[in-house]
Amino acid sequence: MPEITYREALKRALREEMQRDPTVVIWGEDVVAYAGGGAYGVTAGLAKEFPGRVRDTPIAEEAIVGVGLGAAMGGLRPVCEIMTVNFTLVAWDQIVNHVAKQSHMFNGQIKVPMVIRTPNGHGRTAATHSQNFDAWFASIPSLKVVAPATPYDAKGLLKTAIRDDDPVIFLEHLQLYSTRGEVPDEEYLIPIGEADYKRRGKDITIVTWGRMTIESLKAAKILAEEGIDVEIVDLRTLRPMDVPTILESVRKTNRAIVVEEGWRTCGLGAEIAATIQEQAFNYLDAPVARVAGLEVPMPYARNLERATIPFAEDVVEAVRAMMRNEY
């Protein structure tokens, strides 16, 4: 199977869906002209291919989301790009008070088939540009929240998200855009709400998503050499979460570590750990542990940034400690 980048996989998904459905449009800051299309090149070339359907917008995230919402209500399927997840904060009222309220509050009279694409990430970009709000998004009823880790998942999930009749927050990652993976040429879709075993193992379950899936896979390779057989559940969808798959794995391995990039307090790891103990308590052989980002505004300095974000070695350490019965 051909290998392509995560970025290219996203673009193919956008292209295929735009070819398929003329109501799909792409709006965002610098999605047309800048650097050929998109701050991270995801939409490069699409404006030429689909005249009038890919449009640059003002730097006004509340309007990008709000106008996208109205257009979705009015019959379009907008894919709104927010340049980075940090800027979604400007649109938070639109996302929480409007996008996420329509279908339920108006008793099914309004549907909102829109996608908000935005990358998590860091890269020496300091405190306001290196954040992760996965848990915030995932805490909002009526949102669907997706965070693919691989090019394959990115393509399949973005296509599904565009076709979905509910608003989907589509969380990408700066550090993943250039990663490569196998993506078939044929069309496929990945359902929202289904986790994926990225590795089968018997000793310990790692529940993770997004970039931390890749780091966890690296960790699993190191641990395998030590005889520790790690199972990796890549959530792919953060809301609604595939709890049955998490439980299935934990019931087998009896141990779980949640690996997340964001802050630990009130992070998604807390939710997952609570869910495991609620529903699989009798299967646990150790407390559910968490590997998470350190709770500081992200510093700029190279060494401090690196210390703040979890990497494969942190996952390795956590797994070893649990296997040594230290938790």
Partner 1 sequence: MPTNITMPQMGFDMTEGTIAAWLKKEGDMVTRGEPIAEIETDKTTIQIEAFASGVLRKIIAQPGQRVPVGEVIAIIADPSEAIDEPIARAATPQPESSVLPQPAESVATSVVVSGVVPEGSERIVATPVAKRIAQEHGIDLRLVKGSGPEGRITKADVEAFLASMPKAAPAPPAPAVAPVAAPAPAALPPQPQPEPVPVVGIKQPLSRMRQTIAARMAASKQQVPHFYITVSVEMDAALALREQINAALKSEGVKVSINDMVIRAAALALRRFPNLNASFMNDGIQMHDHINIGVAVSVPDGLVTVTVRDADTKSLKQISQEMTALAARAREGKMLPSDYGGQTFTISNLGMYGVDNFIAIVNQPDAAILAVATAQPMPVVREGQIVIRTMMNLTLSGDHRVTDGAEAAQFLNEIKRLLENPWGLVL
Partner 2 sequence: MDRESLISLYRQMLLIRVFEDRAAEMYAKAKIAGFLHLYNGQEAIAVGAVSALNPDDEIVVNYRDHGWALARGCSARAVMAELFGRATGTTGGRGGSMHLVDVSRHFWGGYAIVGGHLPLAVGLGVAAQYLGTGRVTLCSMGDGSTNIGTFHAAMNWAKLWNVPVIFVVENNQYAMGTAYEVHSAVPMLTKAAGYNMYAEEVDGMDVMAVREAVCRAAERARSGLGPSFLNMVTYRFRGHSMADPDVQRSKEEIAEWRKRDPITRFADEVLLKRELVTQADLDAIRKSVEEEVEDAIQFADQSPEPPLESLYDYIYMQPVSNMQIGGSLIRPPKLGGRVAPNGKHHVSAQTSYA
CB 129 → partner 2: shortest distance, Å? 21
Binding of partner 2 by 253 (CB under 8 A): no
Segment interacting with partner 2, rule: CB under 8 A, options 140-148, 180-188, 220-228, 316-324: 140-148
Long-range contacts of range 37-42, CB-CB < 8 Å, 24 or more positions apart?
38/81, 39/83, 39/84, 40/7, 40/119, 40/174, 40/177, 41/7, 41/177, 42/7, 42/10, 42/11, 42/14, 42/81, 42/117, 42/172, 42/177
Crossing angle (nearest 10°) for helices 151-163 and 6-20: 30
Interacting residues toward partner 1 by CB under 8 A = 254, 281-286, 325-327
Binding of partner 2 by 243 (CB under 8 A): yes
Choose among partner 1, partner 2, none what residue 141 binds, the Cβ cut-off being 5 to 8 Å by kind: partner 2
Concerning whether 129 is annotated as a catalytic residue, the answer is yes
Let me know: does 249 contact 197? Beta carbons within 8 Å.
yes
Q: Choosing from 8, 17, 29, 61, which is the catalytic residue?
A: 61
Nearest alpha carbon to residue 130 among 178, 182, 87: 87
CB 230 → partner 1: shortest distance, Å? 17
| Tokens at 213, concatenated | 């899936």
In angstroms, the Cα distances linking 126 to 73, 101, 130 are 37, 33, 6
Strand bridging mode 3-5 / 180-182: antiparallel
| Tokens at 150, concatenated | 């691989």
Choose among partner 2, partner 1, none what residue 327 binds, the Cβ cut-off being 5 to 8 Å by kind: partner 1
Q: Give the list of residues 6+ apart from residue 114 with CB closer than 8 angstroms, or none.
A: 68, 69, 71, 72, 77, 78, 79, 80, 99, 167, 168
Binding of partner 2 by 153 (CB under 8 A): no
Contact with partner 2 (CB under 8 A): which of 39, 45, 103, 311?
103
Q: End-to-end CA distance of the chain: give it in Å, rounded.
A: 41
Let me know: does 183 contact 154? Beta carbons within 8 Å.
no
Binding of partner 2 by 165 (CB under 8 A): yes
CB 270 → partner 2: shortest distance, Å? 11
Concerning whether 8 is annotated as a catalytic residue, the answer is no
Binding of partner 2 by 107 (CB under 8 A): yes
- Which 41-100 positions form the footprint of partner 2 (CB under 8 A)? 55, 57-58, 60, 62-63, 65-76, 78, 93-94, 97-98
Strand partners, 151: none
The residue assigned the tokens 């009896």 is: 254
- The residue (of 140 and 284) whose beta carbon lies closer to partner 1 is 284
CB 226 → partner 2: shortest distance, Å? 29
Choose among partner 2, partner 1, none what residue 174 binds, the Cβ cut-off being 5 to 8 Å by kind: none
Interacting residues toward partner 2 by CB under 8 A: 23, 25, 55, 57-58, 60, 62-63, 65-76, 78, 93-94, 97-98, 103-112, 138, 141-142, 144, 164-166, 191-194, 237, 239-244, 247, 251, 271-272, 274-275, 278-283
The catalytic residues are 61, 129
